[in-house]
Amino acid sequence: MSKAETMASALPEIVWTREPAQEHLEGNDAALASVRDMIKAGNRQDLLDLLKLWDPTDVMQMLTRLRLKHARKLFKWLPANPSIKVVAELSPEFRSILMEESTLDQFRDILAGLDPEDAIEILNEFPEDAADELIARLPDVEDIATRASYADDTAGRVMARKFVALPEACTAGEAVEQMRAEADRIRKVFTVYVTDTDGRLTGTVEVGKLLLAPADAPLSSIMNRDVISVSADMDQEEVLRLARKRDMRTVPVVGADGHLVGRITPKQLTRIASDEANEDMLLMSGVSAESRPDDTVFRIVRGRLPWLLAGLLGASVAATVVGSYEDQLAEAAILAAFIPVTMSMAGNAGLQASAVAVQGIATGALWSGDIVFRLLKEFLAALLNGTVAGIILGTLVMLASFVVPLEAPLDLALATSLSLLCVTTIAAMVGATIPIILDKIGIDPAMAIGVFITSSNDVLGVLIFFLMATTFYLG
């Protein structure tokens, strides 16, 4: 019989069934009551022996079901290694609630056992004063403390501090020996960094070139002096854009004095790309970039309400435009049937153009010298799309006049066709231009795709439609 089976047979039969998100299973109530009784009775070892048989996710779910004072007591009982896995499963809010003065030392041990990237991610979720207190208790964990000193979403916050840096006078043979010595500390090395006597980055040598070079060749003779580096304060999105543009697998990071302080690895570049894609997706949907699936009701409201109110403002302006043409609608009620068509075409055309613009900015494919040419292409494409859509709508109006009595169907077809042509063209140009302007003034261009483009194009669409209708149909 295995050790786990021996422990299981000696403990009361307490099992936990994995609960779906936001749902509590009644079958777990008995297990919860048993755990609570063991905590009250102080049966620490028996409870820990039981929880060793549980998955960390199940321990996390059980913790969140306990009363706070019991959860804190149990969390203090947990050894550091199991606690690391449990902490990784906890929601940010519950992590912060669990933490009190008496548990800071335990969190210090937990953070010290984590990979620096994961430790920083957890620290980011704590209140600022609590995070500072934890960092102060980590005097021997230089990597975590150094990373935490940089602002969020910067190269310094996400960089890896494990790299191979050697002086220019070092030979290729010595560099290879150094790489072998560092193999256990640094798993993957693609580039060896070369520094001067003051530790400033002066060049790079690819591993393949290093292995093929004569053993006695100094690094200064084989290194690439055209080195591209980023500052530790550079935004991670700019780092990703540079890496893609220059086809860089790793990106060296330097401090204000030019000293090499870290590198952005392929794994970290992938993580940045994922983070930025998720952020852009949220912004495009009109949701705060800080939103998370486990947000509280208050945080959900705080993150979404401003965008909804902005959309309400845009819709109110569009409604005001429609109301100002009340007499025209009373004179020709048929015009009301085309308002949704116009607003839909304006919104779709604007979203399509802005999505392409945002993608081009994010990937670095949209260059400053290319902007005029891109806008011209968007204009011609929008003009063609609007022409086709306008002809189709005008044809449908004429066909409908044979079935439904319409007053001046030819004038109505002309008015609706021209309005669709103008709306599609203008909306596309707005959608293509606004992200570029926002990017130039330092605002995330993904914000343009959400409520802003939709609302502005709705207003423009309605206004243009009634101007065309007044001129060509009611004039």
Ramachandran class of 199: left when φ > 0, alpha when ψ lies in -120 to 50, beta otherwise? left
What phi and psi values does residue 185 have, to the nearest 5 degrees?
A: -85, -35
Do 303 and 288 form a contact (C-beta atoms < 8 A)? yes
Q: What's CA 259's distance to the chain center, in Å? A: 30
- pLDDT number for residue 401: 85
- pLDDT number for residue 384: 92
Amino acid in position 89: E
Do 251 and 412 form a contact (C-beta atoms < 8 A)? no
**Along the chain (475 residues), what's the average pLDDT of each consecutive run of 10 residues?**
43 68 70 87 84 74 75 73 53 54 61 66 57 63 64 79 85 87 72 86 87 88 88 86 83 86 84 72 61 61 72 80 78 81 84 79 65 85 90 90 83 89 89 82 69 78 86 77
Q: 3-149 and 165-265: same fold?
A: no
Fold of the domain built from segment(s) 165-265: CBS-domain (3.10.580)
**Domain segments of the chain: what residues?**
3-149, 165-265, 297-472
Rg (CA), the chain: 31
- pLDDT number for residue 58: 75
According to CATH, the superfamily of the domain at 3-149 is: MgtE N-terminal domain-like (1.25.60.10)
Determine the Cα–Cα distance for residues 268 and 273; give it in Å rounded to an integer: 9
Determine the Cα–Cα distance for residues 447 and 459; give it in Å rounded to an integer: 18
- pLDDT number for residue 288: 58
Which residues, including other chains, have CB under 8 Å from residue 419's CB and lie 6 or more apart?
Answer: 338, 342, 390, 464, 465, 467, 468, 469
297-472 is a CATH 1.10.357.20 domain? yes
Determine the Cα–Cα distance for residues 459 and 316; give it in Å rounded to an integer: 9
Strand-pairing partners, residue 203, are 194
Determine the Cα–Cα distance for residues 446 and 362; give it in Å rounded to an integer: 9
- pLDDT number for residue 3: 41
- Report the SS3 class of residue 194: strand
